[in-house]
């Protein structure tokens, strides 16, 4: 039986028994292996834009599962799927802007899936804002530790969502609603980054440094407000 990392496990936990799944940009194929072994899904499409990671997925999957049970597809994003071909698409371990690019290629196709589980590595705020403004509703959010990183997992469904204050595009509102156990640590890390910038820019007189100092000062203030709110939840 395969054991997943906390990040992949939390993604897997969002997939329910009987769902048809596509793992977009699967690379190692660990998530599909888990979903098959645990009998969560028997309809799994494994994709990647590049041949070599798709071959790695094939090799790994064959190492765990002797029968040919998965559908391997080479290609970009959701282009290799038909409308509504799966219930759940997973797009994990990619940059937020790349995810946005993949989803925006054909919005009506992207909205044809019941659920999309996203795990952006960066630009999460831009991605959340784009999602809300393009017909996706944020249904669930989770944090997962991976090495020194705290990863964000964002599950969306088609639907209307309300626009948010900018800070809640950065710190997902569902993380607050669900009192995610890693949330305090997640915000503290962001504050630490800004405080380091404050230290670096404090006595510098260039226009950029002064601008950056003010920006970081505001961010510390905003983040500390959210942190206080979280501590009262």
Q: Is 76 in the site for ligand SAM (CB under 6 A)?
A: yes
Q: Is 48 in the site for ligand SAM (CB under 6 A)?
A: yes
Q: Is 35 in the site for ligand SAM (CB under 6 A)?
A: no
CB of 169 to ligand SAM, least distance (A): 22
**Positions 97 through 156 that interact with ligand SAM (CB under 6 A):** 98, 102, 119
Q: Which lies closer to ligand SAM via its Cβ, residue 73 or residue 137? A: 73
CB of 188 to ligand SAM, least distance (A): 25
Q: Is 50 in the site for ligand SAM (CB under 6 A)?
A: yes
Q: Is 14 in the site for ligand SAM (CB under 6 A)?
A: no
- Three-class DSSP labels, the chain: CCCCCHHHHHHHHCCCCCCCEEEECCCCCHHHHHHHHCCCCCCEEEEECCHHHHHHHHHHHHHHCCCCCCEEEECCHHHHCCCCCCCEEEEEEECHHHHHHHHHCCHHHHCCCCEEEEEECCCHHHHHHHHHHCCEEEEEEEEEEECCEEEEEEEEEECCCCCCCCHHHHCCHHHHHCCCCCHHHHHHHHHHHHHHHHHHHCCCCCHHHHHHHHHHHHHHHHHHHHHHHHHHC
Q: Which of 26, 88, 110, 222 is close enough to bind ligand SAM by CB under 6 A?
A: 26
Q: Which of 22, 25, 113, 142 is close enough to bind ligand SAM by CB under 6 A?
A: 25
Q: Structure tokens of 124?
A: 């999460």
Q: Which lies closer to ligand SAM via its Cβ, residue 102 or residue 131? A: 102
Number of residues that bind ligand SAM (CB under 6 A): 17
Q: Is 24 in the site for ligand SAM (CB under 6 A)?
A: yes
Closest CA to 119 of 91, 149, 145: 91
CB of 87 to ligand SAM, least distance (A): 18
Q: What is the dihedral of CA 31, 32, 38, 43, to 10 degrees?
A: 140
Q: Which lies closer to ligand SAM via its Cβ, residue 110 or residue 222? A: 110
Q: Is 176 in the site for ligand SAM (CB under 6 A)?
A: no
How many beta carbons lie within 10 A of that of residue 201, not counting itself?
19
Binding window for ligand SAM (CB under 6 A); candidates: 19-27, 61-69, 177-185, 211-219: 19-27
Q: Is 41 in the site for ligand SAM (CB under 6 A)?
A: no
Residues that bind ligand SAM (CB under 6 A): 24-27, 47-50, 53, 76-77, 92-94, 98, 102, 119
């Amino acid at each position: 039986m395969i054991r997943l990392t906390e990040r992949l496990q939390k993604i897997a936990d969002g997939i329910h028994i009987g769902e048809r799944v596509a793992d977009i940009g699967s690379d190692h194929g660990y998530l599909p292996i888990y979903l098959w072994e645990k009998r969560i899904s028997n309809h799994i499409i494994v994709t990647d834009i590049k041949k070599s990671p798709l071959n790695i997925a094939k090799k790994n999957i064959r190492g765990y599962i002797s029968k040919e049970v998965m559908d391997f597809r080479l290609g970009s994003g959701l282009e290799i799927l038909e409308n509504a071909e799966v219930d759940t698409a997973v797009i994990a371990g990619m940059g937020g802007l790349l995810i946005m690019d993949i989803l925006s290629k054909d919005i009506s196709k992207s909205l044809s899936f019941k659920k999309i589980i996203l795990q952006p590595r960066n630009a999460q705020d831009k991605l959340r804002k784009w999602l809300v403004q393009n017909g996706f509703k944020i249904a669930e959010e989770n944090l997962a530790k991976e090495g020194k990183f705290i990863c964000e997992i964002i599950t969306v469904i088609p639907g209307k969502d309300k626009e948010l204050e900018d800070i809640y595009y950065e710190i997902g509102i569902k993380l607050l609603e669900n009192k995610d156990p890693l949330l305090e640590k997640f915000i503290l890390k962001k504050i630490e980054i800004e405080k380091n910038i404050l230290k670096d820019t404090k006595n510098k007189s260039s226009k950029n440094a002064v601008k950056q100092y003010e920006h970081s000062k505001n961010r510390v203030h905003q983040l500390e407000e959210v942190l206080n709110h979280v501590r009262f939840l």
